[in-house]
Amino acid sequence: MKSLTILGAFAIALAFTSLSQAADKLTLLTENYPPFNMSIDDKNFARESGIDGVSTDILREMMARTNINYSMTLRSPWNRIYKMTQKKSNYGLFSTTYTEERKSLFKWVGPLVENDWVVFKKANSSIKISSLEDLKKYKVGGYKGDATAEYLKSRGINIIETALDKHNAEKLAAGRIDLWAASRFAAPYVAETAGVELPAAIFTFKSVDLYLALNLNTSDSTISRLQSALDAMKQDGTFDTLVNNYL
């Protein structure tokens, strides 16, 4: 009888542990934004080992160090997974630009990596840009929902937006837009995927940090554990090793 009681108590404890682990599991969402996060076969849907990139590798190491249960999915469009992360508990989104406008919308872990926002032109174009004001003279392409495009729009610049950033590379190559606002590091990858000539970077208008953004209902203890793991990686050299694999 006593053994049955012990077994029963063990079963209940195990059940509660399983429920707790399930509740703490993080669902991490991302998109094709090389070299930070990308599918290994260049498709717009991938799971787990089908995803790589510098931010992806950093996050995997953070999860391993904290022993947090998680899943990872790459899909598009960005707007969809951005809104999904805001609505669903224990959902996270990467790589996400930290801005004052977004600050109160998520809980943040990072920075994962630095990024430059740059204006690109066709390699043979004679266009010169020395200020944001100069952009108002041209047709500028941007990625819908991306912080780069949102930043320029907030400063009165008309942005011709696309649902996939590779369409901007294609439109620039075809002469349908004059300039393309994008990440310094991502644009070469995107252009290669689109099968077009590498554009020329002509004007850097902002440097930003990319983060893991988590739903506001994510526990503070989870945020603290992840941030501590990332900070430790930067201290012991692991972070630099992972970044240098890509950048």
What are 47-60's pLDDT values in tens digits? 999 999 999 999 99
- The model's pLDDT over 153-188, given as tens digits with 9 standing for 90+, comes to 999 999 999 999 999 999 999 999 999 999 999 999
**Number of domains present in the structure of the chain:** 2
Task: Work out the average pLDDT over 102-122.
Answer: 97
Question: Domain check: are 7 and 109 in the same one?
Answer: yes
CA 149, CA 180: separation in Å to the nearest integer? Answer: 10
pLDDT at 10 over 80: no
Question: Domain check: are 108 and 220 in the same one?
Answer: yes
Question: Domain check: are 175 and 222 in the same one?
Answer: no
Q: What is the CATH number of the domain that holds 46?
A: 3.40.190.10
Question: Domain check: are 36 and 80 in the same one?
Answer: yes
Q: Are 199 and 122 in contact (CB under 8 A)?
A: yes
User: What is the pLDDT, as a whole number, of residue 23?
Assistant: 56
> How far is the CA of 27 from the CAs of 68, 71, 102, 170, 229, in angstroms?
11, 5, 20, 32, 18
Q: Tell me what the pLDDT averaged over the chain comes to.
A: 92
pTM listed for this prediction: 0.84
- Which residues span the domain enclosing 144? 116-207
Question: Domain check: are 99 and 14 in the same one?
Answer: yes
Query: Which residue bears the tokens 């012991």?
Result: 236
Question: Domain check: are 142 and 107 in the same one?
Answer: no
Question: Domain check: are 35 and 141 in the same one?
Answer: no
Question: Domain check: are 89 and 180 in the same one?
Answer: no
pLDDT at 9 over 70: no
Q: What are phi and psi of 98, to 5 degrees?
A: -80, 120
